[in-house]
Amino acid sequence: MHNYILASALLLKSAYADVVYSKSLGAGGLPDEAPVLFRDASRTPISTGTNAFRVANGESWQWRVNITNVAVANASDSSQDLGSDPHVAYTTYDLRWPGNGTLNDQLARIANDSESGLGSSDSSTTNLTMCAYIIYGLKASKQETSCSDALGSQCMQGILSSLALNGPDPTCGTLPSITTIQGCTAVLENADDGLSSVGMQLGNSTVRPNVTAHARNQTDTFFYVTDIASPGNNLTVLEEHQTALQMMILQIGSQSSMTCMSFNDDVKSSASASPSASGSASATSSTASSTSSSAAAERLVGLGALGLAGLAAGFSLL
């Protein structure tokens, strides 16, 4: 009898496995717990934004950020009651480029273009790799569409200069410590839970173009953030994703581009008196900020205003 109960409990456990979600971020796309569920959910996001930015040879690429609140029926959390409709906030990044092949194909095309300043006439000898660096943990106090606005141009250009100074890292492993960069110190106080930076190699021009198995395709997720599960009516964690400053640096050879965005305008303010809660994702900055701004976040606004004055030439940002 005892054994029978134990066996059926184990069976129940495996059929309806409780899934404990935790905050995690990293290269790749899909949390192991429920990859198909998350992949499908990210295609119909609650918040989505695209920044066009120029890579070193002048091509315009597109970086997209999607934020989804995924319904996760089997979630459990011993520290809170998740109710009958638990959700997990999920942020994904993907890229689109002008050509129709894989990212490696596109790099091979750039490597073969001697006029790009990156390649040579003999593409087979040009080893062009692409790194992505993501810095996560800053909170935006208003809708952002550019790094110079969000960070101040001194900080943004300091990051780009120190990357240029260090030269390309074939392993895409090291992002110069941004905490010591002039102009960044005050901005970074806004990272309540600390900053994470993730570097990854996205492509390599010398991988045979016809080898697609491990080559990145257009719109593949290459970076993600998942979170703890929350009851369906608690949007706090979702709002943390929407007000997070999304920051990406893309480096081809020794040339870097940097782009930023946030989705503060999408926050459905629970306070009734929010005139800006229209849900429109306009490209211009919103006037009133959402309820989630804090004293720390206000400092970011001040720096953003400073940054507008100094968008110097040399780094392309759209």
Q: Give backbone dihedrals phi and psi of 128, rounded to 5 degrees, phi first.
A: -105, 115
Q: Please, which residue, 45 or 152, has the CB nearer to ligand NAG?
A: 45
What minimum distance in Å lies between the beta carbon of 16 and ligand NAG?
5
Q: Please, which residue, 31 or 307, has the CB nearer to ligand NAG?
A: 31
What minimum distance in Å lies between the beta carbon of 230 and ligand NAG?
5
String marking each residue 6-45 x if it binds ligand NAG according to CB under 6 A: ----------xx-x--------------x--x----xx-x
114-143 positions binding ligand NAG, by CB under 6 A:
123, 125, 127, 129
Q: Which residue has the tokens 């606004």?
A: 301
Work out whether 291 is an interface residue with ligand NAG (CB under 6 A). Answer: no
What does the alpha-carbon distance between residue 55 and residue 73 come to, in Å, rounded to a whole number? Answer: 41
What minimum distance in Å lies between the beta carbon of 133 and ligand NAG?
15
What minimum distance in Å lies between the beta carbon of 318 and ligand NAG?
19
What minimum distance in Å lies between the beta carbon of 148 and ligand NAG?
25
Q: How far is CA 185 from the centre of its chain?
A: 21
Work out whether 57 is an interface residue with ligand NAG (CB under 6 A). Answer: no
Count the residues of the shown chain that bind ligand NAG, applying the rule CB under 6 A. 39
Q: Which span sits near ligand NAG by CB under 6 A: 81-89, 215-223, 242-250, 259-267? A: 215-223
Q: For residues 297 and 288, is the Cβ–Cβ distance under 8 A?
A: no
140 three-class SS? coil
Work out whether 282 is an interface residue with ligand NAG (CB under 6 A). Answer: no
Q: Give backbone dihedrals phi and psi of 179, rounded to 5 degrees, phi first.
A: -70, -20
DSSP letter string over 233-283? T--HHHHHHHHBPEEEEEEETTEEEEEEE--GGG---SSS--TTTT----S
Q: For residues 52 and 61, is the Cβ–Cβ distance under 8 A?
A: yes
String marking each residue 79-98 x if it binds ligand NAG according to CB under 6 A: -------------x-x----
What does the alpha-carbon distance between residue 59 and residue 41 come to, in Å, rounded to a whole number? Answer: 30
Q: In terms of Cα–Cα distance, which of 315, 236, 266 is closest to 65?
A: 266
What minimum distance in Å lies between the beta carbon of 272 and ligand NAG?
17
What minimum distance in Å lies between the beta carbon of 300 and ligand NAG?
22
Q: Which amino acid is at 113?
A: D
Work out whether 271 is an interface residue with ligand NAG (CB under 6 A). Answer: no
Q: Please, which residue, 31 or 158, has the CB nearer to ligand NAG?
A: 31
Work out whether 76 is an interface residue with ligand NAG (CB under 6 A). Answer: no
Measure Cα distances from 257 to 150, 241, 247, 253, 318 in Å.
15, 23, 11, 11, 10
The sign of the CA dihedral 163, 187, 155, 61 is positive
What minimum distance in Å lies between the beta carbon of 310 and ligand NAG?
33
Q: Please, which residue, 154 or 259, has the CB nearer to ligand NAG?
A: 259
DSSP letter string over 36-72? HHHHHHHTS-SEEEEEEEE-TTS-EEEEEEEEEEEE-
Q: For residues 203 and 107, is the Cβ–Cβ distance under 8 A?
A: yes
The residues that touch ligand NAG, with contacts defined as CB under 6 A, are: 16-17, 19, 34, 37, 42-43, 45, 48, 64, 66, 73-74, 92, 94, 100, 112, 123, 125, 127, 129, 170, 204, 206-208, 210-213, 215, 217, 219-221, 230, 234, 236-237
